[in-house]
Amino acid sequence: MATRRSALVTRLERYLPLTPDECDTLDWAERRERRIPAGERLIEQDQTGTTLWIIQQGWFHASTTLPGGARQITRFHYAGDLMGISSIAWDWSANTLTAVSDCIVSELSKPNLGRIFKQQPRLAALLYAVAAAEYVAMGDRLTSIGRMGAMERLAMLLLDIRARLRVTAGGVIDSFDLPLTQQDIGDAVGLTKVHVSRTLGEMERQGLIARTGRRMKILDEARLLDMTGFVDRYGVIDTSWLPG
């Protein structure tokens, strides 16, 4: 039977058409597709691990739990993302990876990542560019948490999630499922769940967003953009410098 095309390939092709060789190299490097139900953990913080994962389907979040029990969600991962970045630099995971929805992931071993660098330099450079974009996006989140009030932080989060979902969805979306508890949302933006509840309520009252269960709709995009200065870091990536 025809194997499904890797979500990583699909994502990368949004930025740059890949050669058949490059696609083959990626397909060959991915192994052991696995199904992870919502809520389950792929790896635990500080746990040994020398594998990266590629999300084929679904969402994850990466979190850190502090000695006192507080938790910070440092980022979300979506279909087409390379996950488990800390395993690149060490032999253990810096984060806990939790499935937000039902997911399918496949493995990419570190040696296979090395082979990609050797055999497909252009692909490697593209992965580097994507990583650079995500680095900048994390800087944006840092700025949001460090210097914005509760409502702006939440606005930023919603805009960020939507922008990234658009890459996977391959088009413009204005409403999306947000399968997160308010506790999760708070852990992502550095607020308590109580304050998240109040603030989301206030945003709804002001006509900025609408909620139906856990479906989120952005109503007043202009004002959300205005209050946050949000910039989409996922839509476009410069590939002109990649080696031939």
**Residue 25 one-letter amino acid:** T
Q: How far apart are CA 147 and CA 156, in angstroms?
A: 12
**List 26, 124, 209, 218, residue binding a copy of itself (CB under 8 A):** 124
∠ CA 209-214-217 to the nearest 5 degrees?
Answer: 25
Of residues 167, 192, 160, 197, the one with CA closest to residue 76: 160
113 binds, among a copy of itself, DNA, none (CB under 5 to 8 A by kind): a copy of itself
Cβ distance to a copy of itself smaller for residue 15 or 59? 15
Give the x/- contact pattern for DNA in 147-166, rule: CB under 7 A.
--xx----------------
19 binds, among a copy of itself, DNA, none (CB under 5 to 8 A by kind): none
Q: Is 28 in the site for a copy of itself (CB under 8 A)?
A: no
Cβ distance to DNA smaller for residue 46 or 202? 202
Residues 96, 65: contact at Cβ < 8 Å?
yes
Give the x/- contact pattern for a copy of itself in 87-116, rule: CB under 8 A.
-xxxx--xx--------------xx-xxx-
42 binds, among a copy of itself, DNA, none (CB under 5 to 8 A by kind): none
Q: How far apart are CA 110 and CA 63, in angstroms?
A: 22
Q: With contacts defined by CB under 7 A, how many residues of the chain interact with DNA?
A: 19
- The kind and range of the H/E element at 154 are helix 150-169
Q: Which range in 145-153, 173-181, 200-208, 215-223 contacts a copy of itself by CB under 8 A?
A: 145-153
3-class secondary structure, 163: helix
Residues 99, 37: contact at Cβ < 8 Å?
yes
Distances (CA, A) of 87 to 11, 28, 46, 74, 105: 22, 20, 10, 16, 16
Q: How far apart are CA 6 and CA 155, in angstroms?
A: 32
Write down the number of H helices and E strands in the chain: 9, 11
Summarize as ranges the residues that interact with a copy of itself (CB under 8 A): 50, 62, 64, 66-67, 70-72, 74-75, 85-86, 88-91, 94-95, 110-111, 113-115, 117-118, 121-122, 124-125, 127-136, 138-143, 145-148, 187, 189-190, 229, 231, 233, 236-238, 240-244
Summarize as ranges the residues that interact with DNA (CB under 7 A): 149-150, 181-183, 190-195, 197-201, 211, 213-214
